[in-house]
Amino acid sequence: MTIDSYRYLPRSMKLMYEGTPPAEEPAAWTPLPKPLRRCNVALMTSAGIFLKDSQEGFDEAREWENPEWGDPTYRVIPSDVRQEQIGCSHLHISHDDLLEDVDVVLPIRAFRTLEAEGVIGSLAPEHYSFMGYQDRRLEDWKNVQGPELAARLKERAVDVLLLAPA
Amino acid sequence: MLARVIESLGIPTVTVTMMPELALKMHASRIVGVEFPFGHSFGTPHNDELMLKVARTACEALEDAGSPGYHLDVDAEWPVPLEVAYKSWHPPRPSPIVARMLKQRGQ
C-alpha cells in the first residue's frame, strides 16, 4: 500500500507540511557495524513519556508561556519498565492509549520477540524518550542532547537506534 | 530531524513514522512508513501482532538499506474507522501553538 503521510492531519497542517522544503543539511549515513543478528538495539520515542516515580515530566509550563518552544531534554526508560510507572507530558497528542499500553510508542515486547528469534542480537537495557514538539532548527539537539545521547549510546555499546516519532 | 543528528554522530538509525514523506525531506537515513494516527507508531494497545509486523519491517530496513533515504511502508490498515481515529489522537485541549492560532483567528 502507499502511505498517505497526511491522512490524520487537519487540512491547514497538511498544506504546511506539503510545502516544507527539503532540509538543507545533507543526509547522514552510518552503516551497521555488523549483521543485525549481532547488533545491540535501543529504542527512542518522541511521545514524551517518563517514569512517574523518579523523573520529572517535560516542561509544559514553559511551552504554554512560549508556544514555539519545546522541552529538548530526554528521559531514560529501562527495558523492564512496568506500565504503571509510565507518565506522559506531551501537549500535542492524546495520552490514553500509551497509558494503557506503552508499547504503542515504545515496542519493547516486539523487540524482545525479535531478540528471542535471533533477528537482532540483543535489546539494550535502556531506551529513551523525548517530547517531539521541538524547535525546528533543533539547535539544542545538534549541540547538546544529540552529542550527549550519542556518547551514552556508544558507552553502552548500542549499535542501532530505532526512532519512533509520535 | 533527530535521526539525522544521531546518524551524523555515528549511530545507525531507522525511523518508524506516520509521515514518511516528511522524513524523506528531512533526509532520514532509513524510513519505515505507517499509516497510523499520531501517538501510535506501532499500533493499538495490546495488538502484539501488529506491533511485531512494524518492528519486523524496521529490521528489514536495517538489513537491506544501502544508502540514505531507504524507505519501506508497512502494509497494514488502521483497525479503527477514520472518523474515530482522526478525533481520538488529538489531545483533550488544543496545544499551546494551536490555541494561539485559534485565538489569532478569533475562534
pLDDT bracket for residue B106 (50, 70, 90) = confident
Q: Does B79 contact A at CB distance below 8 Å? A: no
**Contact criterion met (CB below 8 Å) for B51 and B43:** yes
Give average pLDDT by consecutive 10-residue segment, chain A, 166 residues.
89 86 92 98 98 97 94 97 98 96 98 98 98 83 92 97 96
In the numeric block, the cell 531507504 is attached to B70
Residue B75 forms part of a structural domain: yes
- The structural domain count of chain B equals 1
Interface pTM, i.e. ipTM? 0.94
Specify the residue for cell string 495520552: A95
Is B87 among the domain residues?
Answer: no
Average pLDDT over residues B42-46: 97
Q: Give how far B106 is from chain A: nearest CA, Å.
A: 16
pLDDT at res. A16: 86
**Structure pTM?**
0.95
Strand partners, A122: A40
With beta carbons under 8 A apart, name residues in chain A contacting B90: 93-94
Q: Are A100 and A88 in contact (CB under 8 A)?
A: no
Please report the pLDDT score of residue A11 as a whole number: 84
Predicted local confidence at residue A13, as pLDDT: 83
Distance from the Cα of B17 to chain A's closest Cα (Å) equals 6
Are B95 and A158 inside 8 Å of each other by CB? no
| CB < 8 Å to A94, chain B | 39, 88-92
CA dihedral angle for residue A114, residue A119, residue A120, residue A126, rounded to 10 degrees: -10
Q: CB A27: neighbour CB atoms within 10 A?
A: 18
Mutate to test the interface with B, among A36, A66, A92 (most CBs of B within 10 A): A92
Bridge partners, residue A50, by sequence: A87
CA–CA dist A117, A50 (Å, integer): 29
Q: How far apart are the first and last CA of chain A?
A: 21
Q: Tell me the count of A-B CB pairs closer than 8 A.
A: 224
Residues of A within 8 A of B59 (CB-CB) are 36, 114, 119-120
Q: Report the amino acid identity of residue A54.
A: S
Distance CA A156, CA A150 (A): 10
Residue B96 in any domain: the answer is: no
In chain B, whose CA is at the least distance from the CA of A158? Answer: B11
* Nearest by CB: A120 against B48, B59, B68: B59
Inter-chain contact A2–B73, Cβ cutoff 8 Å? yes
Place of cell 523523573: A55
Min distance A134 CA to chain B CA atoms (Å): 10
Tell whether B13 is covered by a domain: yes
Residue B27 in contact with residue B68, Cβ under 8 Å? Answer: yes
Assigned domain for B8 exists: yes
Is B71 a domain residue? yes
- Predicted confidence at residue B75, as pLDDT, reads 96
Specify if B43 maps to a domain.
yes
Domain holding B37, by residue range, is 2-79
Does a structural domain hold residue B47?
yes
The predicted model gives B30-58 an average pLDDT of 97
Average pLDDT of every residue of chain B: 94
Q: Does B63 touch chain A (CB under 8 A)?
A: yes
